Structure formats: structure tokens, C-alpha cells
Amino acid sequence: MNLPAMPGDLAPPTLTKNARIVLAKRYLRKDLEGKPIETETGLFWRVAATVAAEEAKFEKSPYAEADLAREFYELMTSFKFLPNSPTLMNAGTEMGQLAACFVLPVSDSIDEIFDAVKYAAMIHKSGGGTGFSFSRLRPQGSRVGSTGGVASGPVSFMRIFNTATEQIKQGGTRRGANMGILRVDHPDILEFIRCKEREGDLNNFNISVALTENFMKSAKKGEDYDLIATHTGQSKGTLNAGDVFAILVQKAWESGDPGIIFLDRINRDNPTPHLGDIESTNPCGEQPLLPYEACNLGSINLALMAAAGDAAAVDWDELRRVIHLSVRFLDNVIDASQYPLAQITDMVRRNRKIGLGLMGFADLLFQLGVPYNSGEALALGERVMDFFQTESKNASKQLAAERGAFPEYGQSAYAKKKLGPYRNATTTTIAPTGTLSIIAGCSSGIEPLFALCFSRNVMDGEKLMEINPYFEKALRASEAFSQMLMEEVARTGSIAHIEMIPEELRKIYITAMDIEPVWHLKMQAAFQKFTDNAVSKTVNLPNSATVEDIRDIYMMAYETGCKGVTVYRDGSKSGQVLCTGQGADADKAEGKAKTKVKHRPDVVYGFTQKVKIGLGDLYLTVNEMDGKPFEVFATIGKSGRSITAKAEAIGRLVSLALRSGVSVADIVEQLKGIGGENPVFQKKGLLLSLPDAIAWVLENRYLGGRIAATEENGSLYHPTCPDCSADLIFEEGCYVCKACGYTKCG
């Protein structure tokens, strides 16, 4: 694409070190060797000029193309607004696909199922994420009329989608991400709820159960409900809704999966019901879409909307200006985007959905001196989102006057209510902003901060301290700032336990795990009240949270008008507490350590890896159960009795630890780095000794080449970034790396 020459007087963006790392790694255009071939200024001009070029198509536009390109550039480089990642990556490139969110239908035939696999691969290659409802597929054990065979059910086909995604993410610009949804009245619902019990299964899927109004009413009363085979519309039996809801809550307690969406509520807000029912959402759940529909998103940085000179106010006039310009930007993106399928192009341009949201809400609260867990914060959230909704609709109405309403407007819910006309069927979404917020240097979405301060490894063992700037400013003003104090804050991320910090600051500068779960949900509901689509938000719970706590959150989400909810109990997703359940909690409280060694079956399967160490060739055999290491045998070729004895002893002890429930991460942590007299280079690093070599094999096989972070008590495990090894945090429904911008959800 030929872009206009970049003006020589453009001010380059002011970027943090983290932002430069993220842009260089994920967004700047690169040559065949992976080296950047554009500057940060060039990136933002490429995007601004490409999106502004669409303005020339509309005679009634009040903007000249060159002037609008400059306005878009200044909008992004001031970090008051940023579009979704595919727009930053692909605008002005041959790829040209600018939307983040897609939903594809999965119909009940082999041809249609594998069409969906193919289409998903095309979308992942272009940088988008895909959502699917598998509810149309006939249940496991049903007869297939054309062949006389037996259907294998939705979960079996989800594994095919998962495998395809695994391959595409290895060659694509972004990792593929999927949402898998199944209606609660599908006959295979129990298998679906349990489909991610084993860690690593369906690793490229988030999953959510689509709950209906009838189910929720039955669950409250403990009544049975009908299971419906959607390919025939016939009943396939009943289940007790209370029991199903209990299993759903139990699994969410164990691992965070599955989440839930309220399907009837979503469809009540479907602006174009004549085009069909909404069946699914995008991977993080905030964008419900019709089959073959896509949506592009963008976020305004509220941290920059505090009124200058007034510590207790929002600059509403500037926010209005930015909202109107951002809506114009996102509407232009629809026409600038090259969608991967004709069906998607058609559906997108009939409805012209956009999703304008926000980031930096926690930073705004810091500036205004408002605690996140307060009625004042909830009231501000409602007021802000009400303003977003009103002004985004006003902006869409202005665009309709210039360009025409979205083509399906005449049959839409808006026309029936005599609202509009609008250019866009939806205008607001609260989307994840994990990577965008790093570029903008602000807090993510409407989430509280996960940590006020943390240390990041940079190179050669050097650590860089990252401190929230508003917290640091307040701490210095109170004369409580010190390097020693920052190291203590970095250890936990929180100041709730540090009494030397003034109490007023401890109330305002509160972090995600300090906040009672109910406040997370109240904030989500406050923003949902004025959002067309849905809200990406994680309800964080401590590891000590009970199953009943999660049940209460799910019920409260239903009762307060949320369209779905994602919960995360600390430490539950990537490695469990050694003993789970109420009995384990009781034992822990009493200081007891009960360990039960698993019985070895007669037959186990595994692998043998050859590793060259200083003592000779090590042959390490690792046998597995349920995909996890169960026992280890170490043999060294042509070694003496002493070395053989050491190898056997280490193997026996590691095997005992594995069968006793000790995590691979803990074993690696103990063995890794032990020195020996004959170190040797092997592949990516130096192997110091026999135990170091065993740790190297286990780490690369089961931990992706990295060791999981462990809390002081040794019981909770958190995954680390596969790109930079920093800790991942779970917010906005996804794992995100605050150091380099990696996100598991694309």
C-alpha cells in the first residue's frame, strides 16, 4: 500500500523502556531476519495515514485526509487512544486485516466443521482471535445418518480445533486464541465442563458455559431441566440444574475454567436479531458476535483524563473530543480492513460494529484519591461509562449523517425504538488492554493494579524496579519513600501489610488481591450497565477462597446484570496446592503435612532422552501418568560404580517426590544449578552436573524451559512468560506479561 510521505515535523512518541521493548518485539515491521525496518514514529504514522485515507470516500466529511492523519497520529502518540493490536500490526501492510474479534459458526456436518477449522486458521494467521459455539453439534453416541456411524461429540472436535491452532501460532504473527462455548442444555454439557481438568488439555481455548434464564431459575430451585439435542430439537433426558451448577462452580474453583456467559441476556441486547441469534463471544468474552461477524476495538486512556489543576475532577470536554475522534477512527478501520473471508466482510459491513472502551481506570482513581473498593469508585465508573455510551452514540449519529446508517439499521432494534440513525450497530466494549496499557504506560482496562511495584530482570542479572508513578509520587510526598521500602513492596506487590505507610495511602493504593471479590464484581456490573457489548474483567480471589465463594460470585453476576464472569482463584491455574479440598485446608491450618505416595501400576509409558554431560552420556527415562512425570531412571554409559550409585539414588528420590505430589517446578528448583567437577555445554546452556542435567530435561519438557514462580510457603505456583521469563499475571480473563507484552490470548 502506498502511504503519503511522513511529515518531517511529527513529534516522536515519548515511550517507556517497557513500551519500546513491546513495540520492537510485537508491532514494528521487520525484515526477513526479524530486524525492525521502521521506527516507532513510522509505525504510528503508518496506522494513522492508512486509517485516515478512508475519509476521502465521504464527501460530507469535515476533515481533509492529511489533517485527519495528523490528528490520528497525535491521538495515538499522546497515548490518549490506541486501537486493537491487529490494527497496529497490519495497517498499511500487505496483510491488511485490522480486527481483533471474530466468531465462526460450527454446524453439524463434517464439511462445515472442517470449514470452520480452515477459516479459524486464516483468522489466526491474520492476528485475530476466534469464538465458537459447539452447541449445534450432535451429542456423543448419536447416530450419523449418512454413514451409520456414531458421533464423537463436541469436545472431541474441539481437540481438532486446538491442534490446528497450535500449529498456526508457530508461524503466525500472534498466538492463536479461541473461545469454546456450549449451551448448558446440550447433552454433553458435563463432559464439556470437565474438558480442561487436566492441565494442558485444550490449551488454546478459553471455555465458557452458555447459561439460559430457564437454567438459572431451575438451579436456584434445585429442579431438573431438559437436555436438547440441537440437531433434532428433541429431548435427550434431564439433569438436576442445582447439581450441574455445583459441578460448574467446583471446576471454576479448581482451575478458573469454565467461565460463564448469560446467553439470553446477551441476545436481549442483540441489535440485529433479524440476522440471527448470538451464540458465542471472542476469546476473552467481552465481544458477543453473530456467526461470521467481526469487530475492531480501541481504548481511551483515562489516566490522561484527569482535569489539569483539579485533583478531584475529570476533563469531560477533552474526553468528549477524544471519544468522537476515536469513534471516527474505528469506523474508518472497518473500511480499511481486509477481512479473510467474504462472509465476514459482508456481515461486518452490514452491521459496522465497533467497540470503544477504556484503560487506566485504576490510575484515574489514584489521581482522584478514590479507593477502588468504594461506593465513590462505583459511582465514578458508572458516570464515566454512561458518558462513553452517550458520546459514542452521538459520534455514531454524526457519522450516519455524513456517511449513512449501518445497512441493517432499518430492521434493527434501534429503528424499532426510534433511536438513531446510527452508523454502528454497537459502539462500546470494555476489552482487555494488557499489551496496549504497557505501550500507554497505564493500568489495564478497569482492573485494579496487580502490583504497585515489581522487579524485572533485564540482562546479566540486573534487576529493574518498576513502580507505579502515581504511587511513587504520593509516597515521596508523604516522605515515606525509600529503596528498602520499595524492595519490600516489590516482594508482594501490595502495601496493605506495611504499617509505616500512612493509612490513607494504604486505602487508596490498593491492589487486585487486596480487594474483596464482591468489589470486583460490583465494578464489572457498574460498567456493564452502560456498555453495548460486554466487559472484560477478572474477579480475583485468594487461594483460600471456597467453592461457596465462587458460587456466590456467579449468582451475583447473574443478579447484577453482567453478561458473563471470569473468576481466578490465586494459584489455581498453573499447578495446584499439593492437597486440595476442605480437608487439605484444615490440615494446613493445623500445620500438618499429609503425603500419600501414589501406587505404581504394572505398566507405565514415557520417554528416554540422551544428554551429554561431563561424566558421559546420560540416558534419562521419564515415565508418565496422565501426562505428568511419575518416575525417573538415570543411567550413565560407561560409568563407574560410584557414579551409577549416585544416578540411581537421585532417580529414586525424584521418583518418590513425584509420586508424593511434589511439583516438577519444586524439583527443578532444588536440582537446577548444582555444580560439578565436569561441566559441559549442551544445546542452549551449560550443564553443571548430573542433577543439573536432570533438572534441564524436566524443565524443558514440562515447564516450557522455565521454572514457575513459587510463593514463600511453597504451595502456590504461577506460570512465567515463555518469551522473557517474567511472572505472568491473570487479569481481564487472560494471562499477561507486564514486562514484554506477551499474552496467552493473543
Q: Which residues are catalytic?
A: 282, 284, 286
**Residues 113, 154: Cα–Cα separation, whole Å:** 10
Contact status, residue 600 vs residue 631, Cβ threshold 8 Å: yes
Contact status, residue 456 vs residue 720, Cβ threshold 8 Å: no
CA angle (430, 508, 720) in 5-degree steps: 60
> Which of 28, 21, 89 is CA-nearest to residue 740?
21
From first CA to last CA, the distance across the chain in angstroms is: 25
Helix/strand/coil (H/E/C) assignment for every residue in 405-446:
CCCCHHHCHHHHCCCCCCCCCCCECECCCHHHHHHHCCCCCC
What distances in angstroms separate CA 667 from CA 312, 608, 656, 671, one per listed residue?
A: 52, 19, 11, 6
**Pairing relation of β-strands 717-718 and 178-183?**
unpaired
What is the secondary structure of 196-215 as a DSSP string? T-STTTTTTEEEEEEE-HHH
Torsion sign across C-alpha atoms 527, 529, 533, 537: positive
> Which of 43, 137, 126, 155 is CA-nearest to residue 92?
43
**Residues 191, 182: Cα–Cα separation, whole Å:** 10
DSSP 627: T
**Residues 633, 654: Cα–Cα separation, whole Å:** 9
**Residues 431, 361: Cα–Cα separation, whole Å:** 13
Residue 69: strand, helix, or coil:
helix
Q: Which residue has the cell 506479561?
A: 737
**Residues 213, 219: Cα–Cα separation, whole Å:** 10
What distances in angstroms separate CA 124 from CA 246, 288, 519, 745, one per listed residue?
A: 35, 18, 35, 11
> Which of 215, 79, 214, 190 is CA-nearest to residue 140?
190
**Pairing relation of β-strands 224-229 and 234-240?**
antiparallel
**Pairing relation of β-strands 205-211 and 709-710?**
unpaired
What distances in angstroms separate CA 490 from CA 125, 458, 464, one per listed residue?
A: 38, 16, 11
CA angle (205, 159, 574) in 5-degree steps: 45
Grid cell locating 44: 504510528
Burial 415-439 (b: 16+ CB within 10 A, else e): beeeebbbbbbbbbbbbbbbbbbbb
Residue 669, C-beta contacts closer than 8 angstroms, at least 6 positions apart: 707, 710
Grid cell locating 79: 497515548
